[in-house]
Structure 1
């Protein structure tokens, strides 16, 4: 009997929801989602972001790699500002989006001898179902703040 039920489930079209495809989402929608995430991301989401950024080498001077030069306690607020009021957002992959915000007149990082005044954040929206993108509140806790680094 269980085998028959499994067989029927395999023949039935999948009812699984599909993740938000950032390549198909309008920039306005991605900007709105970023702003919502900035206001509702949990402490563990932010902690994971900084752990990943540290592991990627962006929190210490590393030749050939962009790294932050501003005081690390200032980074969370700059990251929130980047998500809330990004200058630019673009799809990086199927479910990834890159949020960028410039901080004119403020050097926040370096790449070798080049000063950098923008912050870039990569967010993974794979836990947000495509059909829920306009009502994303319940899914914000599943969004992954993947990386943060200074950029041009």
Structure 2
């Protein structure tokens, strides 16, 4: 009889830890695109508030995608050295910090905050698949599908709710 390694939860019900882990990953998924998809619905207000030209708006909205392209190799190294849990915690902290920075009210701070968000999301993009393949080895495809679907739901909800929240709270 072969023993299954302790961290191979298989993703199949069974343990409370597996359920909590899956729930945590899906909560991460809800938030991993929100800082990017929240800008386009209010981009005219952001441009007016920061005094941005069309080129400036284009730069602001493309910085996260540039970070994805440029920082993925570095994120892979960070996840390998720090581990996926610490990396994901840093990514979530970076998203919060970048969001607060981006709200600072001037162009340089908004660009830096947006870059922090882009780097943080890049780290999350690398760390989550590592966690899924490690902790849900036998159900990695199903968990990855649920994660991807939840990430898209988070983007959809953010896009739909940004304008009403901006109108309500300014």
Scaled by the length of structure 2, the TM-score of the pair is 0.30
Higher relative contact order (CA 8 A, sep 6+): 2
Question: TM-score scaled to structure 1, two decimals?
Answer: 0.32
Which structure shows the bigger proportion of residues in strand conformation? 1
